[in-house]
Amino acid sequence: MPSEILDKRPNNFPFPILPSQDDRCTERGYFFMRRHFTIFDFFFFNLHLSTTIDKQRATAIRALAYAGDQESLRRVEELERNPKPHFSKLQKFSSFQSENMCIRAVDNFTCFLSETIQSCMMKRPNMLSSGEMIKIEDVVKFKNRKDLLSFLVDRKINELTYGGIKELENFLNERTGFSLTTTNEERAILTISIELRNIYTHNRGIVNDIFIKRIKGIKHDFVFTKGQRFHADFDIITTFANCLLSIGKRLDGMAASKFKIRTRTYGTWHKGFEKSDSFSQKNDHSTATLSDQAGEIG
């Protein structure tokens, strides 16, 4: 994403922060940032596709209008009534699209968090120390210490993941000293984005008592009404995703430094795992325009 595009955005318009080729990250950090990028890239691709089809349709109709026949004139009238049918259709999916982006962004973050804890435990197995019991039959089926360690780590991660973000966060803080958030604003956005993900997944986006209880005491500017569906527009989704990315990148750097986890630049990891995204490379020049239209969809 060219820096000049970001510089042109109004200060009050949140723009999605995307990974730089020079960002240093762990392997898990790369996949986290790559998924973050894909969430927005897919959205902009659909936006680009719909607007391109509408432009081509308009060009073809106007070109054929010179024929002067009744059918050509009828199409021109239809174009005037509905100049952007495909973009309008995309707008109808705005609620569904916002739910998908919120869910995917939060799931990507929680997955990365559990993977980071896993990486740290593999480097320092003593993080597993506890009074928990393990069955002898589970121990004897492994031929070496490494396989046993992997089993114990996986079991612990599954246990923590089942407990939700709170369990992961508490374990991370107790065993590593890392804190997920550094400001009250980060804490508020993290909590609200996670709880929104939960009601989108389990309650069709309808604000309920559980949601209100879990965000009680958190300072924010959003309006949540019990019994009503909350729509997160493009600006809100971008704000959530940017916060999650910032927290994730900071955590990735701390884990890499303290636990000596290998890092490379984002671009180097990318070359090793998958081919470049042609849409992203060829259409950077139109991203600023697409982001304006994204606000219309939101």
Taking only the tens place, the pLDDT of each residue in 168-225 is 888 888 889 999 999 999 999 999 999 999 999 999 999 999 999 989 999 999 999 9
Strands (E), 141-217: none
Q: Contact 203/226 with Cβ under 8 angstroms?
A: no
Please tell me the distance from the alpha carbon of residue 57 to that of residue 64, in angstroms, as a whole number: 11
Handedness of CA 22, 25, 26, 31 (dihedral sign): negative
The answer to whether 151 and 122 are in contact (CB under 8 A) is no
pLDDT confidence tier of residue 52, bands split at 50, 70 and 90 = very high
Check whether 144 has a pLDDT greater than 80: no
Furthest-apart CA atoms within the chain: distance in Å: 86
Q: At what angle do helices 287-297 and 27-64 cross, to 10 degrees?
A: 90
Confidence band for 159, pLDDT divided at 50, 70 and 90: confident
pLDDT in tens, 73-106: 888 889 999 999 999 999 999 999 999 999 999 9
For tokens 């009503």, what's the residue? Answer: 228
Q: Which residue has the tokens 């606000």?
A: 295
Structure tokens at 264: 């490379």
229: phi then psi, degrees, rounded to nearest 5: -80, 135
Q: Give me the residue label for tokens 């081919």.
A: 275
Give the integer Cα–Cα distance in Å for 243 and 103.
14
Instruction: Give how far Cα 221 sits from Cα of 92, 189, 198, 209, 252, Å.
Output: 26, 11, 20, 19, 29
Find tokens 């630049």 and name the residue: 265
Q: What value does the CA radius of gyration of the chain take, rounded to a whole number of Å?
A: 24
Structural tokens at position 287:
């991203």
How many Cβ atoms from other residues are within 10 Å of residue 192's Cβ? 23
C-alpha to C-alpha distance for 219 and 192, rounded to whole angstroms: 10
Quote helix, strand, coil % in the chain, to nearest 5. 70, 0, 25
Distance between CA atoms of residues 11 and 6, nearest Å: 10
Our CA angle for 111, 193, 257, nearest 5°, is: 45
- Count the neighbouring beta carbons within 10 Å of the beta carbon of residue 74: 11
Residue 263, helix vs strand vs coil: coil
Is the CB of residue 232 less than 8 Å from the CB of residue 98? yes
| pLDDT at 288 (0 to 100) | 52
Residue in 36, 4, 19, 40 with CA at minimum distance from that of residue 290? 40
For residues 252-281, average pLDDT = 83
Between 10-19, 22-31, 134-143, 270-279, the lowest mean confidence (pLDDT) is in 270-279
**pTM summary value:** 0.82
